[in-house]
Amino acid sequence: MNAGTPDNSAEITAPLALHRENVQREWIDYNGHMNLAYYMLAFDHATDAFFDFIGLGETYLKANNASTFTLEGHITYDRELMAGSLMRFETQLLAHDAKRLHYIHFMYHADEGYLASTNELISLHVDMTERRSAPMPESVVTRLDAIAVAHDKLPRPEQAGRVISIVR
């Protein structure tokens, strides 16, 4: 497989289950649960796994001098997690075009099964030489097209596209 070429032999599931990790003790705040900053770190690890799966990971960056930048993100905090809890992540592709990806991660307590948090993101493909947006390689778009076929059958998550506000 060439750097930046997705492993098309890897099974496409709906949603994708690509990452697991434990809540580290140093991620716990004075309230005794995982601090909000570390939710983003854990979701970033899930994003790394997703980008490796589609062929846009660190190997791709080194071989092609291109990467992705996050344009926008939104996190929901549904239930707390404690030190040592095993987190299980699922990723759903919501949309993509030649330069952008819109996706959402679901963080579950792996042992108890509850949804702890979600992270919705839009990422942009960037030519690192110019530090400007650029189209993704055809091989990556083809992989995303295949994922979209599977993920378009999933219901749209209620957390996707939320607006933050206090309703009066």
- Record the tokens describing residue 70, joined without a space: 């996050």
Which token pair is 85?
């809890």
Q: Which of 151, 5, 22 is nearest to 90 (CA)?
A: 151
Q: How large is the angle between the packed helices 138-151 and 36-54, nearest 10 degrees?
A: 110
Check whether domain 16-151 has CATH 3.10.129.10, yes or no: yes
pLDDT tens readout for residues 103-159: 999 999 999 999 999 999 999 999 999 999 999 999 999 999 999 999 999 999 999
Q: What is the pLDDT of residue 144?
A: 98
- pLDDT value at position 60? 97
C-alpha 135: how far from its chain's center?
A: 19
- Report d(CA 35, CA 17) in Å as an integer: 24
pLDDT for residue 1 is more than 50: no
Residue for token pair 């099974």: 11
pLDDT for residue 101: 98
Taking Cα atoms as reference points, which of 92, 154, 111 lies closest to residue 20? 111
Tokens for 148, please give them: 């979209």
Rounded distance, CA 71 to CA 68, Å? 9
Cβ contact 75:86 at 8 Å? no
What average pLDDT score do residues 4-11 get? Answer: 72
pLDDT of 5: 66
Domain residue extents for the chain: 16-151
Query: Measured between alpha carbons, how far is 98 from 100 in angstroms, rounded to an integer?
Result: 6
Whole-angstrom Cα distance, residue 66 to residue 61?
5
